Every structure is written in C-alpha cells, then in structure tokens.
Structure 1
Amino acid sequence: MADESYDVVVTGTSQGGRFPPIDPAKAGRKVALVGRGHLGGVRVNSGCTPAKALVASARAAHQARRRGVRRTDRPGVGRPRAVRERKRAMVAGGRESYASRLPQAGLDLVEGEARFTGPKTVEIALPDGGRGRSARR
C-alpha cells in the first residue's frame, strides 16, 4: 500500500467496527477499514457464531438419542468431524458475508495492523512485511 489519504480510518473489523464508517462513506468521504486477522472479530470467528453452531449440533444429537436414535446420517449431528466442518462452514460464511458488504458500503478494506504515528497519520504494517501510511486530508 502506497501512501494514501482517507477522510476516515477505522481500525478493527469486528461486527461493531463495520457500522461506524458507513455513514461517512455514504456522505462521499473516502473511508478505510483496517483489520488484522479474520474479518468479523471474535463474534464471527471464535465467539457467538461457532459456539451456537456447536451447541445446536449437540442439542440435536441429544434429542435424537433421547428418542432412541443411536446413529444418524444427518450432517452435523453426533459426528464430531461433521460438527466441526459445519461450524467451519458457518464461520467462513460469516466472513464472506462481511467482506461482500464492504464494497457496497463504499469502504476500502486494508489488511494489516494499524498504529497511529501522529494526530492525523496511521501507519499500517502489512501482512507481507511492507508498510503503508494513511494521512487524513
């Protein structure tokens, strides 16, 4: 990333970080969303989404066993590998959904770790080891 100027730079790509930059982008401002790691933050990647997927699978397996079903071929019910794959697919779907909405909202996604180096300057450590700077206009 070369030196670029943005009107608004938001750090963090959690669920909450997705919404604050939308209004300035809709108002015609140039907006960057800077995030390291996977999109969606804890909620999508290791919190609510995967936890609820695992709980739902465990509940379905429990209910099936209570009704006398010892084995089922239904994906994600009672088979650990299938449960994990179902959870991974749900997390991947959440990330893809998040990413697909960014361009529609007029946001530029910059993958890296942001660090403020001045009152209106952010330096971004890029995954490939490079550095980019963003200065507010």
Structure 2
Amino acid sequence: RFQFVYGTLIMFVHVMAFYLLIMHTVPWARGVRAAYVLYQTQMLMHDVWTCFLLRGYTLLPYPGIFCAGPICPIVGGFVSYAIENLFMVNLACVLMFFLLVMHQQLLPPASSLSISRRSLIMSLIAMYLVLVLNPIAALLAGSDPPNRDEIL
C-alpha cells in the first residue's frame, strides 16, 4: 500500500519537475537542459517500475526480495531483479553524463581539464558496458535458495 501511495504522490513531483525543466530553463545550455530532462525521465521510469509494476519487498534478515507486482508472474523474479539492476545502472550512467556535461560547461575553453566530446562519449559507453555486466551476471547465475518456500 505504501508503494502505491508513494508512487501516486511522486508522479505529481515528476510532473512539476518536467514543467519547470521545459518552461523555466530556456536560458540554460542545451546540453545541461538535455541532461536534466534525461535524468528526470529515468527517475520517472524507475518510480513507475518500482511502485506500480515490481512492488518488491525485502525479506529481512535474508538478502532477498519478494516481488508482489503484476509484472512478476509474467517475467519471473530473476528477470524482474535484472530489470531493477538495469534501472540502477542506467541511473548511475545518466548521472555521470550529467555531471560530466556540467563539468565541461564550467571549464574555460582552453583548460587542460577539458575533455573532447568523443572522449566523453567513449568513456561513458565503456562505463556503461562494464556496469551492465552486473545485471547480466546476476540474471545468468541467479537461482532460488533451496529453502525458498520456508523463507516465504
């Protein structure tokens, strides 16, 4: 119940953030504005996934998640967990892109710390590929514990 109420309330926050980004950030640099919109879109998609589709509950003291959402019976627990991991990887990479774009905007053009656009994109692609190996490995190597029914 909490996740549904939180998800419903946070949608209003996302709508307000998109309104502010679209209407009140016109003088900002195009790259910074695009990074903000991309980050906010990623946050919106993650909140929809977490609050309405996945609805995962941790099984403390065990390191596990019980999936109670409508998508879990369709795709399965491990695929749901891999999708959640992919959201986290995407969020980290979008945030890194945002921070690097802001860094480049603040530097003077002749600075030795300036990174070329090609180097920026290549480093972000490399970071994304390394980070996306974690959800793939979790999906391929994951299995239910032997006492699954006992835990649930």
Same fold, TM exceeding 0.5? no
In proportion to residue count, which structure has more helix? 2
In proportion to residue count, which structure has more strand? 1
Greater Cα radius of gyration, structure 1 or 2 = 1
Whose relative contact order is higher, 1 or 2, with alpha carbons under 8 Å and at least 6 apart? 1
TM-score by length of 2: 0.35
TM-score by length of 1: 0.37
